[in-house]
Amino acid sequence: MTTKRIIVALATAIGATLASFAAGAQQAANYPARELNMYVNYGAGGNTDVAARGLARGMEAILDKPVVIQNRAGAQGTLGVSQLARQKPDGYTFGIVTYSTISITPHLMKVDYTADSFDFVAGVGRFKYGVAVLADSPYKTLDDLVEASKKGKGVFFGAPSAPNNIAMYELGRKTGGTFEQVSYKSGAETVSALLSRQVDVIVQNPSDIMPHVNAGKMRMLASASPMRWTELPDIPTMKEQGYDVEVDSWLGLAFPKGVDPAVRDKLERVAIQALKSPETTKVFVLGGMEPVAVDGAEYHKMLVDGREFMGQAIKAANIPTNL
């Protein structure tokens, strides 16, 4: 090829690239032209749904278009994520993709997606987990609970799924105690099990625990999260009490793989801006979540790294799987 032809070819390629960028920028500038659908992978009324609806309202105010919640509950939160992965990547359907559904549940059951099935928009919130017993429980401290787990049949705990159960399995593994799980379908059922004395202890979220702590029916022994709860700042974490155990999980947003990058970038900015509003922050806090924003690339990395880490933790704890 002659030098002239090379120059012409390069100019044509550069022109096509610039045209593509311009088209993407124009699409993002006009986006959205209609309502958006947000898939939520848990049922109405739970803390994930409450946070998602609060964030959706904040995003609506910025986008000037409706964000319609589509609850797709089932299969420990994986059903909605699986359905989201199969949607057309036109920028008008996005949804909640939680840490647990990417980094934890695939180690426990078969799923038809991976982190690479999505274009991640942002991480928008952090779940909180706490170890709670009845107010009249003989276990006054986490040390009491560990001591009891080394006697007889051990301690029975209630939990709906991972990562809640990982805290107790890890505590038993690292102390030589025995913690046996009794599984329930939801946080509400788990709480009822503790109140009716079917189990000795639970690991649940603030929205499950705080109403009963405030009513004098439960007592929290420790935060199982990496941080203390803002609701109970005097209760230390498990690590602060000398036990190298913590569980963490996040709430994030994603498109099906293949969305226009300019559209993804715009929704990332919108989601992070919406999360900063006092109204959205209030909804998250009331729902027992920490409103914390990370960009899409960072959230994707957290999920990929988390999958490897949680796989090792689940294997070490000998947690039963359905694989």
The strand pair at 155-159 and 201-204 is best described as parallel
pLDDT score of 185: 80
At residue 261, what is the residue type?
P
141: left (phi over 0), alpha (psi -120 to 50) or beta: beta
Helical pair 3-30 and 261-275, crossing angle rounded to 10 deg: 40
- Domains delineated in the chain: 31-127+250-317 (3.40.190.150), 130-241 (3.40.190.10)
Q: Which two tokens stand for residue 89?
A: 């990547």
Q: Which two tokens stand for residue 186?
A: 């939801």
pLDDT score of 29: 81
Mean pLDDT of 185-208: 94
The strand pair at 250-256 and 179-183 is best described as unpaired
**Rounded-to-integer distance, Cα 182 and Cα 205, Å:** 17
- Per DSSP, the three-state class of 246 is coil
pLDDT score of 291: 94
Quote the Cα angle for 57-87-260, to 5°: 75
* Percentage of the chain modeled with pLDDT above 90: 78
**Rounded-to-integer distance, Cα 119 and Cα 216, Å:** 45
The strand pair at 118-127 and 93-96 is best described as unpaired
- Per DSSP, the three-state class of 215 is coil
Instruction: Report the candidate in 290, 128, 292 with the shortest Cα–Cα distance to residue 220.
Output: 128
Instruction: Among 173-177, 179-183, 185-189, 223-227, name the one with the lowest average pLDDT.
Output: 185-189
pLDDT score of 47: 85
pLDDT score of 17: 54
- pTM of structure: 0.84
Contact 122, 298 (CB under 8 A): no
Contact 249, 127 (CB under 8 A): yes
Contact 162, 171 (CB under 8 A): no
Instruction: Among 75-89, 122-136, 216-230, 302-316, name the one with the lowest average pLDDT.
Output: 302-316
Q: Does the pLDDT value for residue 44 go beyond 80? A: yes
Contact 99, 299 (CB under 8 A): no
Instruction: Among 45-49, 70-74, 268-272, 277-281, name the one with the lowest average pLDDT.
Output: 45-49
Instruction: Report the candidate in 128, 139, 103 with the shortest Cα–Cα distance to residue 237.
Output: 128
Residue 15: partners with Cβ closer than 8 Å, 6 or more residues away: none
Contact 220, 131 (CB under 8 A): yes
More confident residue, 285 or 300: 300
Average pLDDT value over all residues in the chain: 91
Per-residue DSSP letter, 73? -
If residue 17 lies in a helix (H) or strand (E), which one and from where to where? helix 3-30
